[in-house]
Structure 1
Amino acid sequence: MPHLLITDDEPSIRELLAEIAAGEGYTVAVAADIRQARIQIERQKPDMILLDMILPDGDGIEFWKGLGLVDTQVVFITGHSSIDSAIDALRCGAVDYLRKPVSLRRVRALLGELKSLLYERPEPGSNDCFVKMVGKSRAMQLLCAHIEKVAPTRATVLLVGESGTGKELAAEAIHLASPRHDKPFMPVNCGAISPNLIESELFGHEKGSFTGADRQHKGYFERAQGGTLFLDEITEMSMELQVRLLRVLETGCFMRVGTNAEIPSDVRVIAATNCNPEQAVTDGTLREDLYYRLCVFPLELPPLRDREDDVVLLADHFLQELNEEGHTHKSFAPDAMKAIQEYSWPGNIRELRNYIYRSYILADDEIKGNFTSFDLQSHSAGRGNDISLPVGVPLADANRQLILATLKQCGGVKKLAAERLGISLKTLYNRLEEYGAAADNY
């Protein structure tokens, strides 16, 4: 049986938590302060500690840092919650932190997840969670190993990686390898939903809550109940909505737009961004407290240029999918495969997939490496891929030069240029309209 140590100076809280833990199949030890906690740990090493941040004889976080219990999970409890205390708790490796009065539902969920992680066998079919993640490089093996570690837990995950590196596939793999694999997996692109609608899309709304709300609407949090919600482009979310998301993560409850009734939420959140999250915090596009709540277990997805020979495996994989779908037998000519290997693929997997698709359509039997200006530039080992900008150039001018140079490199293919730039096709068209005659050749 898993062993739990409850350390809190309030007897009523110790008794209540001990009763819940015993009902979940734990052996339980209790301590009112740090001194008693040390004695209990010497008697039996706990699998999990529920630890008050402020104890009569010291600071709970500092006590935890000094223990060095590698295989023990800690959840902090506090009656004086603040942004700083939450960040401190998560920084030192806490699985979660609970605010008093403690949510008994969340305690049961945490205990259940840990017990599942320690003692239950992996779910049938969980070995198939990586079926969509093609690659054998060292970087991919490390990523998959980390996914296997974090998937069975309740930890929120922040996926960081360039556009096109497969963040949604990684999020789905975490879901499939978790105990939630038979529940919904719902991806949400926060940058693709109108700022006026995203709150309703996430949390739902009641009939009549705003103009056009002619019926009750269940949001993603409600529809993903028991499963996983993947929030892509998290930095595109407004500050006000980030506050609401943080509250859901802290309390496990949300409210539909137009009502004050709280709805319990059992949803695992995985977030993603294609920018540096710490820089986003500095720039004011990501709340610091939300960052540390999401970044319990950060995962960085490697760009395709750092994945050794995976580009060949991926190219073959995409071509075979198209062959099966079209009942064809097309293949790569040697010069095409050489060009694919030599190109740096700044748009990563998405760019490679689009290139293979386009090449497949244009090719008769064999995919050559020399049928568009884009291909010729791709084969030039990086020549012509750089632009030089003087220090102090206005951002508008820099953006203009970058967009036009990227469009030229893509042979005038606007969709590909938009994906490589990390902007929507609509935004690209708007920019080209602004540039007028300078963009007429594209």
Structure 2
Amino acid sequence: MYMSCLFAYLPQSSDASLRQMLKVALNARATNVVCFDTLAALLESCQLDGPDWVVLDVDTKDGDIDELLTIMTRVTHAQWVLLTDGAPFPAWNHHAQDMAAMVFRRPIDKQAFQRLVIDQVYSEDRGQSQGTPVMTSQADQYGYLLGSSSPMQALYRQLQRLGPTKANVFIIGESGVGKEHVAKTLHGLGRPTDIGEMDMRSQGGDAPFMAVNCGALSPELIESELFGHVKGAFTGAHQDHQGIFYQAEGGTVFLDEITEMPQSLQVKLLRVLESGEYRPVGSTRNQQANVRLLAATNRDAREAIQQGKLREDIYYRLAQFVVTVPPLRARGDDIHALTTHFLAELNFNHQTTVSISDNALEHVQRYHWPGNVRELKHAIEHGFLLSNGCIEVTDLPASVMVDDPSTAVETLALPEGISLDELEKAAILQTLARYQGNRQRTAKALGISSKTLYNKLQQYHALSSD
């Protein structure tokens, strides 16, 4: 079992209670704590070994401070904990910021030291030993799709029949269910030249699959993206451009979020569906499209038609067959299987042995997953990055935790007129409290660097002192 290594140099002039706290940690064998009698001995060991934590009194006068500053620069993987009386020392401040070090100023808050140092060292060791590492996936797979629940098996059977045809397919499902994976699976199943042929003949590895998100491009660009343009067709058109329909020759074009396509372009798409012809922007000649069209939306198709988001004639042309992808909450045990799949992939890619606790796994299975498979994958990645070797409930995103009253994060009360600076401060301090003062995990959760977090906390400390 891996145990964290903590180096400490606290001379007799340091607070005796802090030395006692470290001795307790050593006696409890919760971690490997090495106490040094001299600063020189600590510096030598830091160069030879790789401590996870270094606790030292920076006010000492018995060592080479310049050498210590140099070693701090080299030992970047360790969490540095510095004890000081608070006297201005620019060199220390510079290194403390760059290393995201914890700086305790005298008189030292013993509870804060226990919570931010001792407890965190304990939690790292416990995290490394909890649970069985997830190294294998339990998710069955069909094409690009994962899962073996009854709704997914029904989907697979439908795709098996539709894949080898050249029929247009309209894919419907909530955001994050994997509509593009369905499209890629259909593409991979092949497309014979005649809709009646069902010999599973493959398109071949060279058949292109071209996907475009209709809601991600501006109305001015999407026509050129789909159909191409000729040189001089508009300002900035310095050369001919071949569109997606040309690039996908003999393959598949997947139009994601088609209800976001401008009505004017839907009319031109209708011509492609009816005659197989399209015209590049600025051209006077038609070109023939030889592609299979797949489209998808997360809207209700009927409502989209009523709201004017989708032309009815377009829908019926595309919807030769309609495939509905089930939401994750309706897939039962697939949630557990997908969790193991994503975590096993992360362990393989990062050469780690991270596990997930029974409590966290139970919570994952109980959550309703409005963001579906995409949200689950991001949640496991989030927990993987924040864990100490075992994903706990508190390592999962706050949005996932709110379903569990025992781990729910308190909602911030926002008084009328609160400034953005005050809102930022509240978010930082609340996240810091949630992770029990661990600044590295707090910075990751907030999406900022450790240095930025340190600067913010120093700013709040200064304002509090004032």
Answer whether contact 2:144 2:184 (CA < 8 A) is retained: no
Quick one: distance in 1 between partners of 2:326 and 2:141?
Answer: 19
Alignment match, 2:241: 217
Identity of aligned residues (%): 45
Deviation at 1:313, TM superposition (A): 0.8
Alignment match, 1:357: 381
Quick one: distance in 1 between partners of 2:340 and 2:243?
Answer: 39
Matched, 1:200 2:200: no
Deviation at 1:382, TM superposition (A): 12
Alignment match, 2:276: 252
Q: Deviations over 1:185-216 (max 9, x none)?
A: 11110001111100000000000100000010
Deviation at 1:249, TM superposition (A): 1.1
What one-letter code is carried by the residue in structure 2 that aligns with 1:301? Answer: V
What SS is found at the alignment partner of 2:364? helix
Structure 2 segments unaligned to the other structure (5+ residues): 1-139, 192-202, 410-426, 432-466
Q: 1:296 to 1:329 in 2, by over 3 A?
A: same
Alignment match, 2:401: 376
Equivalent position to 2:342, from 318, 327, 335: 318
What SS is found at the alignment partner of 2:219? coil
Quick one: distance in 2 between partners of 1:348 and 1:219?
Answer: 32
Q: Deviations over 1:136-155 (max 9, x none)?
A: 00000000110111111111
Alignment match, 2:167: 155
Q: 1:293-308 alignment to 2 at 5 Å?
A: 293-308=317-332
What SS is found at the alignment partner of 1:186? strand
Deviation at 1:375, TM superposition (A): 4.5
Alignment match, 2:25: none
What SS is found at the alignment partner of 1:197? helix
What SS is found at the alignment partner of 2:326? coil
Alignment match, 1:238: 262
Equivalent position to 2:292, from 265, 268, 285: 268
Deviation at 1:381, TM superposition (A): 10
Answer whether contact 1:343 1:382 (CA < 8 A) is retained: no
Quick one: distance in 2 between partners of 1:215 and 1:236?
Answer: 28
Q: How many residues align structurally?
A: 262
Answer whether contact 2:224 2:243 (CA < 8 A) is retained: yes
- Relative to the length of structure 2, the TM-score reads 0.54
Q: Deviations over 1:246-290 (max 9, x none)?
A: 100111111110112111111000000000011101111100000
Quick one: distance in 1 between partners of 2:372 and 2:339?
Answer: 12
| Runs ≥4 residues deviating over 6 A | 381-384
Deviation at 1:374, TM superposition (A): 3.5
Q: Deviations over 1:300-331 (max 9, x none)?
A: 01000000110111111111111111011111
Alignment match, 1:169: 181
Quick one: distance in 2 between partners of 1:181 and 1:171?
Answer: 16
Answer whether contact 1:201 1:219 (CA < 8 A) is retained: yes
Q: 1:287 to 1:181 in 2, by over 3 A?
A: farther
C-alpha RMSD of the superposition:
2.4
Quick one: distance in 2 between partners of 1:247 and 1:382?
Answer: 55
Quick one: distance in 1 between partners of 2:154 and 2:337?
Answer: 18
What SS is found at the alignment partner of 2:145? coil
Quick one: distance in 2 between partners of 1:326 and 1:341?
Answer: 25
